[in-house]
Amino acid sequence: MNLAALAGLYVHVPFCQQKCGYCSFYSFAPQAGDTQRYVEAVQLQMRQLARDADVRTLSFSSVFFGGGTPSTLPVTVLASLLADCCELFSFTKEMPEITIEVNPGTIDAKGLQQLRRAGFNRLSIGIQSFADQELQQLGRIHTSGEAQATIEAARSAGFDNLSFDLMYGLPGQSVRSWQETLERALAIAPEHLSLYELTVEEGTPFFLQAEQGQWALPSEDAVMAMLATTETAVDSSPLERYEISNYAVAGRQCRHNLNYWHNGLYLGLGPGAVSAFGGQRRATVADLPDFCRRVAAGQSVWAEEEQLDAAAAFRETVIMGLRLLAGVSITELRHRFGLDVTTYYGASLHRLLDQNLVAIEGGRLFLTRQGLPLANQVMAALV
């Protein structure tokens, strides 16, 4: 008997009320008719994929509506899309983790109640900062007060699993300002925090503004001080760091993202989504009209398809797993790929061990406390 493979289901909603200047994801403000075309195409894509032999072997343990800003869609539409997912695909017997990203200013208390009744049981709230000046600099459409109101409405709606997205290293941000944002977030007692340093991606408005000298990012010393502030603040909270940028109370780690970090299987729906199943990684065309046309014509929506050999998949699993503080199991890697970490990496790994950037203990390879701030350099050495 073939056992179903555990997987995650991702639904990409490419719409935003206003695209932030730092965002490099496929998203845009919808024009007339875009929402209806998107919904009809994704529903048809679901039906097509539900008949795919490789997809039928998957058993989903998580659903994640991301974007863009999913909460820009009418709640009735979001509920309908989730119902279609549950009807067309197979799920584990255990209650799946069903997350939706929402931004303050795009949903009200009634909408949050409807989302909870529809089956969403985890919210990822894009707060970014509790300082209004920083929110304006980022181009966010909400205020800190609106963020607070959204959180309170979410609790009243019955959501007992909240995650906040916060950003540090912002233009004009001080260590003190970051500390105040962090302390305010922790005082609300979320079950999960995702803390990201602002990265300025080429091709974004922020990149052009930086090139023109319109603003400057905090110094490296200031960013390091923000990281130290984070460590101190979180240490006195119920949250524990379990991934480079993520913190959770016990049992509330994001299951959907853990699957990514374990280099598991996942199915992506909608334009710009990525999938990994059937021995391939596939990227969906990141263009709504083209996506809709292909789906309607019954054509492939994959803009890219990549077949990873065992060695490439092994390296990727090591790199992804090192994002987790627990690291990767050397035994599991050997069973999964038939390759040994120490033998495969040889001198490269020994150098990292000698520099105390990684360690091997209890049969696991992981980043040391000293290696965590240098994670990108460590991973580059192991690609």
Domain CATH number, residue 197: 3.80.30.20
Amino acid 348 reads: S
- Reference 263, options 45, 18, 5; nearest CA is 5
- Reference 191, options 278, 115, 249, 119; nearest CA is 249
Question: Distance between CA 368 and CA 383 in Å, rounded?
Answer: 18
Mean pLDDT of 165-186: 96
3 pLDDT tier (thresholds 50, 70, 90): low
Q: What is the pTM of this model?
A: 0.95
Question: Distance between CA 253 and CA 261 in Å, rounded?
Answer: 12
Percentage of the chain surpassing pLDDT 90? 89
Would 207 be classed as within a structural domain?
A: yes
- Reference 175, options 227, 231, 245; nearest CA is 227
pLDDT tens readout for residues 281-312: 999 999 999 999 999 999 999 999 999 899 99
Q: Which residues contact 3 (CB under 8 A, 6 or more apart)?
A: none
Would 289 be classed as within a structural domain?
A: no
Would 85 be classed as within a structural domain?
A: yes
Q: Which helix (H) or strand (E) holds 82?
A: helix 75-88
Domain CATH number, residue 355: 1.10.10
Q: Specify whether 199 is located in the same domain as 344.
A: no
Q: Which residues contact 208 (CB under 8 A, 6 or more apart)?
A: none
pLDDT tens readout for residues 200-238: 888 888 888 888 888 888 999 999 999 999 999 999 999
Q: Specify whether 131 is located in the same domain as 219.
A: yes
8 A C-beta contact, residue 223 and residue 169: yes
Residue 205: the pLDDT is 87
Q: Specify whether 133 is located in the same domain as 37.
A: yes
Q: Specify whether 345 is located in the same domain as 226.
A: no
Residue 209: the pLDDT is 87
Question: Distance between CA 363 and CA 343 in Å, rounded?
Answer: 14
Q: Which residues contact 131 (CB under 8 A, 6 or more apart)?
A: 144, 173, 177, 180, 181
Residue 65: the pLDDT is 98
Would 276 be classed as within a structural domain?
A: no
- The full length of the chain comes to 383
Q: Over 90: is that where the pLDDT of 25 sits?
A: no
Q: Which two tokens stand for residue 128?
A: 């970014």
Grouping H, G, I as helix, E, B as strand and the rest as coil, residue 179 is: helix
Mean pLDDT of 115-130: 98
Would 358 be classed as within a structural domain?
A: yes
Task: State the chain's mean pLDDT as an integer.
Answer: 95
Q: Which domain holds residue 374?
A: 321-382
Question: Distance between CA 345 and CA 351 in Å, rounded?
Answer: 10
Structurally, how many domains does the chain consist of? 2
Q: Which residues contact 363 (CB under 8 A, 6 or more apart)?
A: 329, 330, 331
Question: Distance between CA 281 and CA 170 in Å, rounded?
Answer: 33
Q: Which residues contact 310 (CB under 8 A, 6 or more apart)?
A: 337, 338, 339
Q: Which residues contact 1 (CB under 8 A, 6 or more apart)?
A: none
1 pLDDT tier (thresholds 50, 70, 90): very low
Residue 66: the pLDDT is 97
pLDDT tens readout for residues 237-261: 999 999 999 999 999 999 999 999 9
Q: Specify whether 81 is located in the same domain as 153.
A: yes
**Partners of 9 in the beta sheet?**
63, 267
Would 290 be classed as within a structural domain?
A: no
Mean pLDDT of 114-123: 98
Question: Distance between CA 24 and CA 362 in Å, rounded?
Answer: 39
Residue 145: the pLDDT is 96
Rounded alpha-carbon distances, angstroms, from residue 304 to 3, 250, 282: 28, 38, 6
Rg, C-alpha atoms of the chain: 21
Residue 377: Cβ-neighbour burial (10 angstroms; 0-12, 13-18, 19+): exposed
Amino acid 79 reads: A
pLDDT tens readout for residues 259-274: 999 999 999 999 999 9
Q: Is the dihedral of CA 169, 175, 179, 181 positive or negative?
A: negative
8 A C-beta contact, residue 300 and residue 50: no
Q: Which two tokens stand for residue 15?
A: 């719409």
Residue 338: the pLDDT is 96
Would 302 be classed as within a structural domain?
A: no
Would 372 be classed as within a structural domain?
A: yes
pLDDT tens readout for residues 330-368: 999 999 999 999 999 999 999 999 999 999 999 999 999
